[in-house]
Amino acid sequence: MAYSGALKSAGIGYGHMPCTGAFESAGIGRTYFDGLKALVYSFKTYTSAFENAGIGTAYASAFKSAAKGRILFQIYSLLIFVGACFIFAYRLSHIPAKGEPGRWAWMGLFFSELWFCFYWFVTTVVRWNPIYRNTFKDRLSHRYEKALPGIDIFVCTADPVIEPPVMVINTVLSVMAYDYPPEKLSVYLSDDGGSDLTFYAMLEASRFSKIWLPFCKKFKVEPRSPEAYFRTAVEPLGEPVFAKEWSTVKMLYEDMKKRIENTTKLGQISEEISKEHKGFNEWILVASRRDHQTILQILIDGRDSEAVDIQGQPLPTLVYLAREKRPQYHHHFKAGAMNALVRVSSRISNSPIILNVDCDMHSNNSKLVRDALCFFMDEEKGNEVGFVQFPQAFENLTKNDVYSSSLNVIMELELPGFDGNGGPCYIGTGCFHRRETLSGKKYKKNYKADWKRWSNRSVEESTSVLEETSKVLASCSYEENTQWGKEIGLKYDCAVEDVLTGLAMQCRGWRSIYFNPERKGFLGVAPTTLLQSLVQHKRWSEGDFQIFASRNCPFVLGYKKIPLKLQLSYCIYLLWAPNCLATLYYATVPSLCLLRGISLFPQISDSWVLAFAFVIFIHRAYSLGECIWFGGTFKGWWNDQRMWVYKRTTSYFFGLLDYILKRLGFTKSAFVITTKVADDDVSQRYEQEVMEFGTSSPMFTILATLALLNAFCFFGGLKKVIADLETLVWERFALQILLCGLLVFINLPVYQGLFLRKDVASLPPSVSYQSTIFALLACAIALY
């Protein structure tokens, strides 16, 4: 474009939308910039404004733009819709007469296809109008550098065995080292395990931070998790000064890591270590991890003039909290921990912006805080923003993502689609909140954030007094007869408290923003076994459906409060659990009917078959293209198809079953923590993309039963077709044979685990026996 060079010569960092500076020079002061609207203006109108204003006044710090190429998606959607209409027309016009075999199977298939079509429609609504955002952090700094707000950062951990202390402190150190004024950062660790091992690791981290933070800032280190950095960085031999410091800091980190790991393996704190800090005395009174007083220790007090690094620069405040737990009180899992942190931090630092991260999600981008503030501090739209959600990404994914853990399509397409429909959901980690939204405040049109008021607040008490007076805020009884967990803080009594809390914020009028920077904001640890992945999705699907089937359903809670398209968007996740019914039906009934000789699809010579073939080909081809576009591989796409079937037939089924049992009062809520570490053998198989079974589980029994059932039906049906080749029976069953054969091919890893593999990660004999009996029984019932 002709005006691009003019802006370059003027010295403006214009990012993707070159005319933003012109708006500011023309007097339209705005930090949030809508790139689409800007295109309708002519650059010539504002050329003189640039020349006269002198570049350097305020200009846009963020903007959004619609995704390119949406016309192709819209054409694809239209084609799928037309194809689906033909399929339904075939189903309705060819219903078997009463008394004919397969009538009920036919009707069941029709209703399953109706469900698939409805769910596809919801998916299409989400993906119809994704928007993508960009920020200009230099412009934010130019305007607000001296008035930047404080940031409270919450890191949550719950078990020192499943979530090792070394991993936890790497996350803590990575957020302490943000490219942000350290005196305005306060980092809080919630230790729901109440472990002195984790406290010891935090004490070590507080000492190491005095060396790590100046090292990061001096050499602009990325990422700022020591473990991640030294694992990926190459020693800078060509730069003597850097190389010397690099080696020294690495050695100090390895020494600290070794001390922590040795203590963790020992399982207790030595007498020598316990003398290093008064905080260890708290564990004298600890009965167990589920029965102890509040333990609150301010390890670094940012107000203290002596709390400085080796270069004399101030350090962020660092706080360890293990909230009180008693057997007679429900502690509400992560939601309870977060609410305790909200209260305690309000007493110690009370920053207007809160970032929460899981202990396994270390920061991968030191400028992330400034990215988030570009939205919160926008002059035109910033006051509406309740939270800014960053994507989840994982650093331990294999090339072909064997368990489909990358969430690429969700993070790259679906959440931007949420943003286009009214705002993303809150996903529990990597999210910046306005403190007032977590305090239950409703958004009002005349609301305006007073950043100066927040900045001028100071606490006069000494560190020890502050610790003691803050402990009551994390006590078990504090929430009694209050609105905490209901109208204030994170919501209780839901397995996915994050999604419900985000929905409630949006219904109170707050806007949410999704931002996916080029350099990922956070990197975590993906499940390394099949069971971990399935259990995780089981919890998510159960909690999501619990929201849908309650008064918190978006169509009820969000009625006239959020847009209808956003209400529909939530259904893409809230309806995961009932997806199991249609999928289980499609994975079993057509195969059993094939074995019995009942046709459920048009024969290959019938023109109706074109509708099925067209929808199958177009839908799967688009899915493959989508996967490749977002950095996947063909094998990765195939793994995703396999996991799609596995999750719907096991995780979502047990999620739905558990929800029903809880409603009937047979089971109670439980929070399952996914392990963040793996044995060397497990890690090796994961890196080789060998599917990990290795244990007996009802989920594996279902997977193996379905795999064997489809194998029996496939070969039984194929035998009938080959025996009657002359009568062209195969034409009637071509699509059923294709569907059954596809399910057999998808289940190849299951057959290997049942019959071919002899390692410890194969399926146990008990699963083999049970699944074989169940599959044979189902086939016998179908035949007789």
Catalytic residues: 192, 498
What is the rounded (10 degree) CA torsion for 423, 427, 432, 433? 70
Decide: residue 191, CB within 10 A, 0-12 exposed, 13-18 middle, 19+ buried.
buried
Cα 146 → chain centroid: 33
- What tokens appear for 568 in the block? 């529909």
Show the CA angle centred on residue 748, arms to residues 744 and 750, nearest 5°.
105
Q: Count the Cβ atoms, other than its own, within 10 Å of residue 726.
A: 6
How far apart, in Å, are the Cα atoms of 489 and each of 435, 456, 492? 9, 25, 9
Angle at 342 between CA 339 and CA 344, to 5 degrees: 110
Query: Of the candidates 490, 481, 469, which has an alpha carbon nearest to the alpha carbon of residue 336?
Result: 490
- Cα Rg of the chain (Å, integer): 29
* CA distance linking residue 643 with residue 402, whole number of Å: 9
Beta strand 295-300 with 353-358 is unpaired
- Residue 178 in tokens: 């943000």
Whole-number Å distance between alpha carbons of 335 and 498 = 8
- Burial (CB < 10 A; 0-12, 13-18, 19+), residue 742, is middle
- Determine the Cα–Cα distance for residues 729 and 591; give it in Å rounded to an integer: 16
**Strand, coil or helix: what is 198?**
helix
| Residue 230 DSSP one-character state | H
- Residue pointed to by tokens 């704190």: 269
Write the DSSP symbol of residue 215.
Answer: H
Place of tokens 């690495």: 250
DSSP secondary structure of 401-439:
-TT----HHIIIIIHHHHHHHT-PPP-SSSEEEEHHHHT
Determine contact, residues 130/413, Cβ cutoff 8 Å: yes
What is the SS3 string spanning 640-674? HHHHHHHHHHHHHHHHHHHHHHHHCCCCCCCCCCC
- How many CB atoms are located within 10 Å of the residue 670 CB? 9
Helix (H, G, I), strand (E, B) or coil at 193: coil
Strands in 151-157's sheet, in edge-to-edge order, are: 295-300, 317-322, 185-191, 151-157, 353-358, 431-434, 385-389, 511-514
Q: Is residue 729 classed as helix, strand or coil in its secondary structure? A: coil
Distance in angstroms (rounded) separating the CA atoms of residues 355 and 489: 14
Locate tokens 């390692």: which residue? Answer: 759
Contact predicate 394/525, CB 8 Å: yes
Cα maximum dimension of the chain: 94
Place of tokens 């609207």: 37
Q: Counting every residue, how long is the chain?
A: 784
Six token digits for residue 705: 């039963």
Q: How far apart are CA 300 and CA 467, in angstroms?
A: 12
If we measure between CA atoms, which residue out of 323, 345, 375 comes closest to residue 153? 345
Write a three-state SS string for 280-348: HHHHHHCCECCEECCEEEEEECCCCCCCECCCCCECCEEEEEECCECCCCCCCHHHHHHHHHHHHHHHH
Q: Are strands 185-191 and 32-34 parallel, antiparallel or unpaired?
A: unpaired
Beta-sheet pairing, 62-66 with 32-34: parallel
